Chains A and B, each alone.
Chain A
Amino acid sequence: MTFRTPGRPRDAEAQRRGRAPRRLTAAAGAAVLALATTACAGGNGGYLGGGGDGGLIRASWGDPQHPLEPANTNEVQGGKVLDMIFRGLVHYNPETGRAENAVAQSIDTEDQRNFTIRLKDGWTFSDGTPVTAKSFTDAWNYGAAGENAQVASYFFQFIEGYDEVHPAESGARPTARTLRGLHVVDDHTFTVRLTRPFSLWPQTLGYTAYAPLPRSFFEDHDAWLAKPVGNGPYRIDSYQPGQRMTLVANEDYAGEDKPRNDGVELRVYTDNNTAYTDLQAGNLDLIDDVPAARLGNVENDLGDRYVNQPAGILQTVSFPLYDRDWSGRSAAKVRQGLSMAINREEITSRLYHGTRTPAGDFTSPVLGDAGGYRADLCGDVCAYRPRRARELIEEGGGLPGGHVTLTSNVDTGSHRQWMDAVCHSINNVLDDSDACTVNPVPTFADFRNRISQRRMTGMFRTGWQMDYPLIQNFLQPLYYTNGSSNDSGYHNEEFDQRIDQANARPTQREAVRDFQEAERMLVDDLPAIPLWYQNGTAGYSERLSNVRLNPFSVPVFTDIEVS
């Protein structure tokens, strides 16, 4: 350091001043020494550079929001891992999105309400214990019980007895410990009784909340959480929470989609821009979310190693139908007018570089035509019709108070840009620069609080990422009276009846037809305006091939090959 003058005698003045200078130099010297030793000690171990990790796929990851329990995970980062280490009764084909039997041998019903589930032989958890009927019922009972406070527990609400283990009223004690509707017949058979007919229910069972759990989950919960054990194509080799997780192929995996690679190393990135830069530098093999700011250059940077394909995500804006200004027939006309005033084509192409496509119904293209997707179901209401928009808003009595706001949180997801664009489009059509204004809310939590407390007064952002690829999932939770995500407070008895009817239909074709009838009612009432379908994006390094995303915009890890 600059203070040092080694090898020279101290002058008299410095000595009179006392020992201060020496102490300072000594401290500085010690600091340098400390820096040097830690630098050496840190030199071995840690990350290896590009290509040194054998067959492991180095992929980006985000810190999961909740502990890694199947029924306690509702976001994509935790879901990504659970999807790798668990297989449920059914599994969604990554290509078609259709539910195919995985652990289930058969799921039979006569009346769409009582189901008999038979399991295949030979499935084991990666700790060697067998997957039995009890693995499922125990897991479901755990997920449903109110006292376990699992965020995805409402998935079990269809099963009879849910109210007893998970009472809704405040202060109520559960009157049962297990779901009355579950009954183990033998090691490989159990029956399920639902509260009402639901023909598509077996197809919902691919959701991670329905995964089986080994005994170790219940016997030593903390140890299990530190290193979760499942029955999926991969098993966890090491896990440093908040930093990284190494998954290796599970040799005893009984499913058909065996991994075509040795394993995956998930690395936590705090900012997906850094992950993108790391991919460019060759330190990372796979990112499953190209940051919005890089979309403009991504084809230059990655060429054909960029993936952009539809995902089951629909962006909408909803209206507070509980507000007197927005209820009634004339308000529906205003809502339709607003929908026609939004130029979806222009916004998606300018802002999103082809990673969003204008929405024409209330579902998603990943459902396919057989699954109930109809690109033109919404018709003119979801198209850009400036003149008709003005007419409809006029007929409906104009905007309430001559003004509408568009509210969303702005802390994540670059929402500000599209909100500005939507308002701009509406203002242009109405030729009034103050007709629509953006109302940004600083945090997501605050925004969701306002919605759940029904304090909205104008349009607000609502998005829906499907839980399972069924048209039911795009309609019932969102628009059924008191549905779990019915944020607009939509209530239409005819719609509810249609949904009930659809759920009781024995075949998917008939069910889908009823769901689409119900969907048409939404176009008339328009509790929410469909904006655009969201795609999933990914980018990968030259080491990988056969990379694609499933309908949930998660990479199909088992198919990836490493060279």
Chain B
Amino acid sequence: MGRYLLRRLVQMVPVFTGATFLIFLMVYALGDPVTALFGDRGPDPATARALRAEFNLDKPLWEQYLRYMGKIFTGDFGTAFNGRPVTELMANAFPISFRLMLVALGLEMVLGVALGVLTGLRRGRALDTSVLLATLVVIAVPTFVLGTTAQYLLGVELGWIQPAVSPDARLDELLLPGLILCLVSLAYVTRLTRTSVAENARADYVRTAVAKGLPARRVTVRHLLRNSLIPVVTYLGADIGTLMAGAIVTERIFNIQGVGYQLFQGIVRQNSPTVVGFVVVLVLIFLLANLFVDLLYAVLDPRIRYA
């Protein structure tokens, strides 16, 4: 286990360096961001030059990258064009997006697995069909439409919630955005669990457990569910990263100043320190979430052992 963990951690190094370099290259390829700082006006050459020097944009790409990476290891992620250090932006944005991710993940786990088990055990019945239909609708309708509609209905028409989330982004405010964010994943989790449960329900060990005279609930939760959860856990683990990085649309709709917002603004303003810095952290989250999932396999299925 320890050696396996170490090997995985060492493997992260090339992935991490490669990913950051690619991102750096892509932002760089978008072109010179300084001209845009002057709005619709032609840049004054001397000022533009001073700004390029300030942000190291006058250096060749490889030198910019090396300088950037060198600074990252001392904890300096550079400065955004509005003068704020990127670490400060991250310190604000990541906790918010993390909370949103937790809410979304929690909802999709609880609702998705519950619905999956219910429908998996009652295949072909009315409940199963209606849930399947609902998941189809959720997958088909864009998040943007669902989000703004829910926001308008609950926020303006009914007045149950505040349409925009405050800068503190409290958990109760994040319930609706979290639900909207996880809806698509929720649909997938439901379907995954349903298929898996339906398959395993006919397995020998379930029959044995029933034959032993165990109560139905215990059979379902202890035996059936535990074995059916492996594909679902894989999906959920991979979803952690997606939920954090992919919240751009949801965060815009509900005015959540998280990772998606900062990334969006970084891209629009072509501010490479912001974009690369945030993506670096996201890459780390992806890698760690994947590792976590792999380790979780062993917990769920004792036959899997890591050496």
A residues with a Cβ closer than 8 A to B are 1-3, 5, 11, 14, 17-18, 20-21, 23-24, 31, 35, 38-39, 42-43, 45-47, 49, 63-67, 74-75, 146-151, 153-154, 166-168, 170, 225, 240-244, 268-271, 273-275, 277-278, 280-281, 283-284, 411-412, 443-446, 448-449, 451-452, 462-465, 477, 484-487
Among B49, B82, B113: residue with most chain A CB under 10 A? B82
| B240 CB–A CB distance under 8 Å | no
A23 touches B299 (CB 8 A): yes
Q: Which residues in chain B, 91-109, are within 8 Å of chain A measured between CB atoms?
A: 92, 99, 102-103, 106, 109
Among A64, A412, A445, A485: residue with most chain B CB under 10 A? A445
> Contact mask B221-233 → A, CB, 8 Å, 1/0?
1100110000000
Q: How far is the CA of A463 from the CA of B41 in the complex (A)?
A: 9
Given contacts A149-B54, A278-B163, contact A242 B41 (CB under 8 A): no
B252 touches A63 (CB 8 A): no
* Sample of 14 more A-B contacts, CB < 8 Å, known A31-B102, A484-B44: A24-B299, A47-B162, A65-B81, A147-B50, A242-B89, A270-B257, A271-B253, A274-B164, A275-B255, A277-B164, A278-B162, A412-B268, A445-B32, A449-B31
> Nearest CB to that of A271 among chain B residues?
B252
| B166 CB–A CB distance under 8 Å | yes
> Nearest CB to that of B45 among chain A residues?
A168
Q: How far is the CA of A112 from the CA of B113 in the complex (A)?
A: 79
> Nearest CB to that of A170 among chain B residues?
B49
A151 touches B170 (CB 8 A): no
> Contact mask B251-292 → A, CB, 8 Å, 1/0?
111110100010011011110000000000000000000000
What B residues does A241 contact at CB under 8 A?
82, 84, 88
> Nearest CB to that of B223 among chain A residues?
A13
Q: How far is the CA of A148 from the CA of B83 in the complex (A)?
A: 13
Interface SS of chain B: helix, strand, loop or mixed? Answer: helix
What B residues does A268 contact at CB under 8 A?
167, 257
| B61 CB–A CB distance under 8 Å | no
| B1 CB–A CB distance under 8 Å | no
Chain B interface bracket (under 10, 10 to 19, 20 to 34, 35 or more):
35 or more
B170 touches A42 (CB 8 A): yes
B32 touches A449 (CB 8 A): yes
B44 touches A154 (CB 8 A): yes
What A residues does B47 contact at CB under 8 A?
146, 149-151, 153-154, 166
CB distance from A417 to the nearest CB of B (A): 18
Given contacts A147-B50, A446-B31, contact A280 B156 (CB under 8 A): yes
A63 touches B82 (CB 8 A): yes
Which of these binds chain A: B15-23, B123-131, B147-155?
B147-155
What B residues does A277 contact at CB under 8 A?
148, 151-152, 155-156, 163-164
Q: How far is the CA of A1 from the CA of B41 in the complex (A)?
A: 58
What B residues does A154 contact at CB under 8 A?
44, 47
B residues with a Cβ closer than 8 A to A are 30-33, 35-47, 49-51, 54, 81-84, 88-89, 92, 99, 102-103, 106, 109-110, 113-114, 117, 148, 151-152, 155-156, 159, 162-164, 166-168, 170-172, 214, 218, 221-222, 225-226, 251-255, 257, 261, 264-265, 267-270, 299-300, 302
Among B40, B83, B168: residue with most chain A CB under 10 A? B40
What A residues does B37 contact at CB under 8 A?
65-66, 151
> Nearest CB to that of A153 among chain B residues?
B47
What A residues does B88 contact at CB under 8 A?
241
> Nearest CB to that of A274 among chain B residues?
B255
A31 touches B106 (CB 8 A): yes
A-B contact count (CB 8 A): 201
CB distance from B129 to the nearest CB of A (A): 23
What A residues does B221 contact at CB under 8 A?
2-3, 5
A449 touches B35 (CB 8 A): yes
> Nearest CB to that of A23 among chain B residues?
B299
Q: How far is the CA of A8 from the CA of B214 in the complex (A)?
A: 13
What A residues does B54 contact at CB under 8 A?
149
B252 touches A35 (CB 8 A): no
A283 touches B164 (CB 8 A): yes
B156 touches A281 (CB 8 A): yes
What B residues does A244 contact at CB under 8 A?
167
What A residues does B302 contact at CB under 8 A?
17-18, 20
Given contacts A225-B83, A274-B254, contact A149 B168 (CB under 8 A): no
What A residues does B155 contact at CB under 8 A?
277-278, 281
B167 touches A240 (CB 8 A): yes
What A residues does B264 contact at CB under 8 A?
270
A-B contact pairs, 10 of them (CB 8 A): A20-B300, A154-B47, A166-B47, A170-B49, A271-B253, A274-B252, A445-B31, A446-B31, A448-B35, A463-B40
CB distance from B190 to the nearest CB of A (A): 13
CB distance from B150 to the nearest CB of A (A): 11
